[in-house]
């Protein structure tokens, strides 16, 4: 939830900060992809906890989605530190 509020909070309060709608950079899409991957991680983790589907497949999918999501969070934090 902290990441979601960091991503969407300033946009909701201050409005879009782009000069025109098509000026989005790669980090815009990285942040959106990270949010979607985090939601997919929570969903597959819940499916694994409910023992829905194949146990090994949902566990591996949850693990891989979590690793990718945390990697993108790390890249976003590095971006904020060095830019």
Give the structural domain span for 35: 25-82
- What is the chain's alpha carbon radius of gyration, rounded to the nearest angstrom? 16
Task: Kindly indicate the confidence band of residue 3, based on its pLDDT and cuts at 50, 70 and 90.
Answer: low
**CB-side exposure of 79: number of CA atoms within 13 Å?**
12
Residues 6+ away with beta carbon under 8 Å from 11: 17
On whether residue 12 sits in a domain, the answer given is no
On whether residue 66 sits in a domain, the answer given is yes
Q: How many domains does the chain have?
A: 1
On whether residue 56 sits in a domain, the answer given is yes
Alpha carbons 49 and 55: distance in angstroms, whole number: 9
Burial of residue 69 (CB within 10 Å: 0-12, 13-18, 19+) is buried
> For the segment 22-65, what is each residue's pLDDT rounded down to a tens digit?
556 788 888 889 999 999 999 999 999 999 989 999 999 999 99
pTM passes above 0.75:
no
Specify the pLDDT at position 28.
Answer: 82
On whether residue 30 sits in a domain, the answer given is yes
């Amino acid at each position: 939830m902290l990441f979601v509020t960091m991503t969407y909070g300033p946009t909701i309060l201050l409005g879009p900060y782009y000069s025109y709608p098509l000026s989005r950079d790669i980090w815009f899409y990285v942040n959106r992809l990270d949010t979607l991957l985090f939601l997919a991680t929570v969903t597959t983790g819940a499916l694994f906890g409910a023992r829905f589907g194949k146990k090994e497949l949902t566990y591996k999918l949850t693990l891989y989605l979590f690793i990718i999501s945390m990697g993108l969070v790390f890249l976003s934090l590095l971006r904020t530190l060095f830019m």
